Amino acid sequence: MKAGLFIATAALYAIACIMYLFVLTRGSSKAERAPGTVFVAALGAHLAFLLLEAPPGELPLSDISQILSVSSFGIGIAFLLASYRWDVTILGAFVAPLSLMLFLASGLGSSYAPVPARVESVMLTLHIGANVLGLVAFALAFVAGFAYMLQERLLRRRQLTGAFQRLPSLGVLDTLGLRSVLVGFPLLTFGMVTGTFWHVRSGGSQFYVSQALGLVAWAIFAGVIILRVAAGWQGRKAAVGTMLGFAFTLLVLVGYAVRAAGGAA
């Protein structure tokens, strides 16, 4: 049953990706509801999968596989919430592939080692939870930045039809990117502080590459916020910085996955 639900969820995400991309490139604004409906169905199937996967009474955050799956689901939910605030429904063309990618990555769970019982703690749960929520916020910021770059490019080329007419305005995309970063940065900071505290308390002394990548991501997002406030950064520069920061955030997950896979070997 679990395998069948995984396949069904992945298939729904894939169908939503195709439909969103079709609407973005060739469809009309009236057709946006169809891919949105399929995407919501994918989230529903994903939620059922998470409930089936998680042990009774526990959060599905016990290993990197579950963390990837929860992150995928969280990005979809955050996108739906953002769609209620702004007219950004068509950004599902970028959100759905991202959710699908992380969900498929979570399917490699057999290659990952679970978190040993001796290192589990409330502090570790807070660390993971904050980082997952931060990743979700940064994913929205990345999508807004990517769409901003695409919209600006179409505008410079005077391609004022097709995708240009369906993408949100540059102002909306810049605002969504800024607010998402402002939400994600405190969460990332809290995650790093609690992670460091837990690492020291558990007697850890080795410094991993994933921790270094996390520091780089934190520094990039801090720089984006400071330059937005102090130097008036907005638009293209802010979008590039945000996208770069998210790339390093994903590399942190890759680092944890490689370590977990090594522990399972």
Give the residue with greater pLDDT, 261 vs 9: 9
Which of 174, 183, 184 is CA-nearest to residue 234? 174
CB 185 within 8 A of CB 222: yes
Residue 113 confidence class, pLDDT cut points 50, 70, 90: very low
Residue with tokens 């996390």: 214
**Per-residue pLDDT, 109:** 58
pLDDT digits (tens, 9 = 90+) for 196-249: 776 666 655 555 677 788 889 999 999 999 988 887 777 888 999 999 999 999
Which of 26, 10, 17 is CA-nearest to residue 162? 26
pLDDT digits (tens, 9 = 90+) for 29-50: 666 688 999 999 999 999 999 9
Which of 262, 260, 265 is CA-nearest to residue 116? 260
Give the chain's domain count.
1
For residues 168 and 89, give the distance between their C-alpha atoms in angstroms, rounded to a whole number: 9
Q: Which domain holds residue 75?
A: 2-264
Please determine, for residue 180, whether its predicted confidence score (pLDDT) is greater than 70. Answer: yes
